[in-house]
Amino acid sequence: MLSKETSPEVSLSSAPLIELTADLTEDALYGTRHLTVTASEVTVAVPGGAPLLRVPIEDIAKARHEPLSSGGRLLLRLKSGEEIIAVTYSLGSAHQFSEAARGIEQLAEGQEFSIDLAVEQDRCKSCGRLLPEKDGICPSCIKRGRTLLRVAGFLKPYKKQAMLLGCFAVGSTALNLVPAQVQRHVIDGLTSRTLTTPNLLTWVMFWLVAAFGSAGLQILTGRTNAYLAASMAADLRSSVYRAVEFLSVKYFDKRPVGAIASRVTNDTERLWFFLVDGLPFFWINALLVLGVLGFLFATNWIVTLAILAPIPILLYLSMRIWKPLGNLFHRVSQKMARLHMHLNESLSGIRVVKAFVKENDEYERFVKRNHEWRDAAMLSEQTWQSQFGLMVFCVLLGTLILWGLGGYFVMKGTLTLGQFIMMNSYLGLIYGPMQWFAQVNNWFSRAMAGAERVFEVLDMTPETPAVPGKMIRIEGEVVFENVRFGYDKSNPVIKGVSFSAKPGEMIGLVGHSGAGKSTTINLIARFYEPDTGTITIDGIDYRDLDLHDYRRQIGIVLQEPFLFGGSIADNISYGKPGASFEEIMEAAKAANAHDFILSKPDGYDTMVGERGARLSGGERQRISIARALLHDPRILILDEATSSVDVETEQQIQQAIQRLVSGRTTFAIAHRLSTLRNADRLIVLDRGEISETGTHEELMAKEGTFYQLVQKQAAINQVVGVTA
């Protein structure tokens, strides 16, 4: 019984299983309400006050989260039929209360209590900054050293080339130190008039040999590094693409295609740029700076310390700008991904855009995204350029110190002119790389932010099978046992559905839009798995079967068939790449596609265009049926396969489908209910539950839900016929 209390005298009968705080009152005003769920009751209370609501679990029939425009509310339906509002909450708490509703229902139905109250994070747990995307990576908290080590892991197949690159770098560094030493000895010899012509020629030849060697090593270094960087980037792209391909459908439900593509291309491209330009620059110049410092300190340690005085300022500026630059470049990456997402979406839907005369609206949206990318890129570049200006000043300051103090020592005679010229040459070799080390930080920040986004995909749990052993061939018996599933788990689309299909049987799925037909076939294809209940194939829970072997024995013909860029023959043989031309042609004949294919100028070699744009809807559908026939599945799914074609084409497709379904367990959804007359049984779904089951004639005789659907469709067809 539901009761409203004024005193908290009745204690909870057991420990809380769920404790949540709602941020809205019953009147949808800002306020706090505590929800507590135990094994015996649901309680809602004001903080520190009396319970406003107590509902025994045994009185609850259903619990669900009802979405609102800016939040939601938790509804409890009692066994008496009464429905009450337990708590109201804002959008940020919707996921938790949705899970709470599922937990309450599990308790009410005596099921195993299993829910996930974890929420998607908008802010970083470590630093509190807003995340670029929910549950994404915080660019400020990336452990760049660890990420770099993971990137280095892709070097394993190229150890020899990496070792060669290291040797080339050391040799190149040594040869780059030669010119300044030659200048020193020549100038000192000239000023002291001790340099002879043979000595001069020797020094010049030594310099020439060093120059040839340096140029040769630079070429070898560049070519080896280009090979390494391109190979590593290609391996990384392949790894990311493979990881994305094996993720579950749920991953793609939550993320736009453009954002996913950006990780495969743009993020790996940033890493490639760093490997080609940034890392070699840092490695070679770091060695060069160490060599130069050795010579400088050996020449005059006082002048050396003086000219190095501005370097701490340089390093301080670099460290201060490191993280802000990384954040800015990560933001640029996000804006670019959003622009690509919009571009991909608008071009893919160009026919819809033109049909609704939305070209200007789409252009305005593009301009907005483009300006956001521009502003982010401009801010990051302006920040970098401001730092670079300070770098240039530090270089100039070091040069002034050398000319002032070094010139003084030359006049005093404690430093020779040759040594002064050598130190001046080496000064450029120190400050030149130093002022660009911040640019390396720039590259490094971009690359590590991109690499971390890539590794986030690589670390995701793939859609892996639970494999007791590989299945050779299934017979096609499909059984649903009390299956319940919802994309939002507290609002199930399928509610306790049970049915069976014998091998070779054709089952028609019928019902209003939203009844659960498409969800049922998604569950059969194992794009999703039941929240509760089981689906068995030949008596085995299909979660215990090898996923890939199972799907290899499923064929799907969709309402909007998807064809890949390539020839007609390529698309027909997609599910069986090694098929002979005779097999492809036989499948096309069975699908009533052979005649129209031969009418094309290039026959089976005709290119279909992007998504099959060069073919009509009926032609694409027959190609997809031929593809399914050649695939030879044991379980066939037909999802509105004839809903968007004319009557003549529909007849041809229906003939092809009759050949396709022969000997296979088939689940068919049809827009025109009359096309399901040949089904062995029809299952009528209503709001996620089975309302009727039987043959076409049996259901028409019952004059129930199916009969009403047929009558409504007949009336609509009659109206369409009159208006036509």
User: What pLDDT, on a 0 to 100 scale, did the predictor assign at position 6?
Assistant: 35
pLDDT of residue 318: 66
Residues 6+ apart with CB under 8 A from 257: 341, 344, 345
For residue 88, list its beta bridge partners.
24, 73
Asked whether 438 and 388 are in contact (CB, 8 A), the reply is: yes
Q: Within the chain, which residue ranges are assigned CATH 1.20.1560.10?
A: 146-332+389-458
Question: For 167-196, what is each residue's pLDDT tens digit?
Answer: 887 888 788 888 888 888 888 888 888 878
* 18-108 classified as CATH 2.30.29.30: yes
Nearest to 104 by CA among 95, 93, 113, 116: 113
Strand-pairing partners, residue 541, are 536
The CATH H-level superfamily of 146-332+389-458 is: ABC transporter type 1, transmembrane domain (1.20.1560.10)
Tokens 């309402």 belong to residue: 559
DSSP 482-511: EEEE-SSTTS-SEEEEEEEE-TT-EEEEEE
- Find tokens 């030659």 and name the residue: 182
Q: What is the assigned CATH class of domain 478-723?
A: alpha beta
Residue 434, pLDDT score: 66
- Cα dihedral: 332, 337, 342, 344 (round 10): 140
User: What is the structure's pLDDT at 121?
Assistant: 58
- List, in order, residues 6 or more apart from 620 with CB less than 8 Å away: 561, 563, 608, 612
Residue 424, exposed/middle/buried by CB under 10 A (0-12, 13-18, 19+)?
Answer: middle
- Given this model, what pLDDT does residue 354 score? 81
Non-local CB neighbours of 215 within 8 Å, separated by 6+ positions: none
Structure tokens at 356: 């609704």
- C-alpha 548, offset from chain centre: 21
Classified as helix, coil or strand, 515 is coil
Reference 560, options 505, 598, 518; nearest CA is 518
Task: Work out the widest C-alpha separation in the chain, in whole angstroms.
Answer: 122
CB atoms within 10 A of CB 519: 22
Which regions in the chain score pLDDT beneath 70? Answer: 1-14, 116-145, 253-259, 273, 276-278, 318-319, 321-323, 326, 432, 434-442, 464-472, 490, 641-653, 660, 671-672, 674-675, 716-724
Q: Which residue ranges does the chain devote to CATH 2.30.29.30? A: 18-108
Sign of CA dihedral 31, 32, 37, 42: negative
pLDDT at 7: 37
Question: Which of 273, 443, 260 shows the shortest CA–CA distance to 338?
Answer: 260
Contact 35, 76 (CB under 8 A): no
Nearest to 469 by CA among 551, 550, 538: 550
pTM over 0.75: no
The total of other beta-carbon atoms located within 10 Å of residue 593's CB is: 30
Structure tokens at 370: 């483009």
- CATH 3.40.50.300 region(s) of the chain? 478-723
